[in-house]
Structure formats: structure tokens, C-alpha cells
Chains A and B, each alone.
Chain A
Amino acid sequence: AQTVTQSQPEMSVQEAETVTLSCTYDTSESDYYLFWYKQPPSRQMILVIRQEAYKQQNATENRFSVNFQKAAKSFSLKISDSQLGDAAMYFCAYKGGATNKLIFGTGTLLAVQP
């Protein structure tokens, strides 16, 4: 079965600095997608970025980028120029395999210090 692990329950970053959130996953599949979702205090889950396993190029969305290491099964999220509005819980998620269901990690709570 596929699993997603986020080993950092909490992280903190200074405003305007860069922070990297870690995510590792376990799968025997070769075709899958990985996602980062943001959950602010409002609870609304918002898709931040997605990465297809077959693409070697790391995905980028404005200040958000990923470091996808397929062989190491690692999928970290880098937030550049951190803003107060980036403070949230961030979930890493995997989708693939026979069921194609979203499997979530336990989340990383990011605090942004002014």
C-alpha cells in the first residue's frame, strides 16, 4: 500500500525568507501524481502545486516550487519570499495505483514570523 510521510510536524520561517517542507512516499507504482495542499485556519483545502512522476522537470507556481527526487521517493516544497498569508497547514498527497485515490500525509504546520 502507498504511504505518505511528513516528518516535520511544525516549521517556522521569517517573513521574506525561504523554507522547505519535506515529504517522502512509498509506492511500487511508476505512474502517479504528487500534490501539495495548503489548509489555512479557515480550513479550506487549496491546491498549491502538483507534479507528474514522469516529468523530470520540477513544478513551479510563482513562489512555490518542488524538489522531486523520484528514485529517493522524495517530494519537498520550497516556499520563497515567505509571506504572512503562507501560514497554514501543508499536506503532501499521492495519487496513483489501482485505486487512484488521494493519500495524504499528516501535515506540516508552518508559522511565518513577521
Chain B
Amino acid sequence: NAGVTQTPKFRILKIGQSMTLQCTQDMNHNYMYWYRQDPGMGLKLIYYSVGAGITDKGEVPNGYNVSRSTTEDFPLRLELAAPSQTSVYFCASSYSADRADEQFFGPGTRLTVL
């Protein structure tokens, strides 16, 4: 199993550009999550999904969109990139939302908006 994979690993965007961060998991997990990690801070939840076709906002959703057409994929779309979106983005997945369930994380995407 590859686990959770993310592409790209690094990206530089200009202000106003758009891009999609890709996330794929091969563990047949129902739940998927997008987090951002700013310097000196913990991870904050952007969006999450409880299954194909179902998504919901997390703590910091503004400026982002998601979709979940398959169990495996959970892309994160940035529209009109802003410097405040410079961050490291992590995708994660878990089998359920049970408190005991471990979330498995991808390797992250470092995004810089200039």
C-alpha cells in the first residue's frame, strides 16, 4: 500500500493564480481531510469528507474548494491564490470518524504564493 499520496511536493504560485492539490489514498478509507500548517503553528482543518459526494467545512475553509467524486481521491482547489495561503498542506484519511481511529497523513505540499 502506498498509503496517502500528494502531488505536487512543492509549488510556487503568483497572486491570483489557481491550482489543485491532489490527494489519493489506497486504504479504502471513508474519511479524508485537508489541513494547512503555518510556521510555528499546529495543523488546522480546512475541509473534510465522510465519503464520496459528501464534504464539509473545517476551521479555515475560506479561499478553498473541495470535491470527492471517488473514495480514493480528495482534491483541494485554490482559487485566486493569496500570500496568506502560503503554507504546507497535508491530506489525511481514516477509516471512520471514531475517536480511536488513527488519521494517516500524506507527505505534504509546500505552497508559496508570491
Which residues of A does B touch, CB under 8 Å?
4, 9, 31-33, 42-47, 50, 52, 91, 93, 95-96, 100-107
Majority DSSP secondary structure for residues of B touching A: loop
Q: Are B97 and A43 in contact (CB under 8 A)?
A: no
Given A31-B99, A107-B42, 8 further pairs, Cβ under 8 A: A33-B99, A42-B107, A43-B108, A44-B107, A45-B43, A46-B105, A106-B42, A107-B40
Contact count A vs B, C-beta below 8 Å: 50
Q: Are B102 and A50 in contact (CB under 8 A)?
A: yes
Question: A50 contacts which of B41, B100, B105 (Cβ < 8 Å)?
Answer: B100
Interface size on B, residues (CB 8 A): 22
Q: How far is the CB of A5 from chain B (nearest CB, A)?
A: 10
Question: A45 contacts which of B48, B58, B99, B105 (Cβ < 8 Å)?
Answer: B105
Q: Are A101 and B58 in contact (CB under 8 A)?
A: yes
**Chain B residue contacts of A50, Cβ below 8 A:** 100, 102
A77–B83 Cα distance when bound, in Å, is: 35
**Chain A residue contacts of B102, Cβ below 8 A:** 47, 50
**Chain A residue contacts of B97, Cβ below 8 A:** 100
B55 within 8 A of A: no
Q: How far is the CB of B1 from chain A (nearest CB, A)?
A: 15
A95–B90 Cα distance when bound, in Å, is: 18
**Chain A residue contacts of B48, Cβ below 8 A:** 101
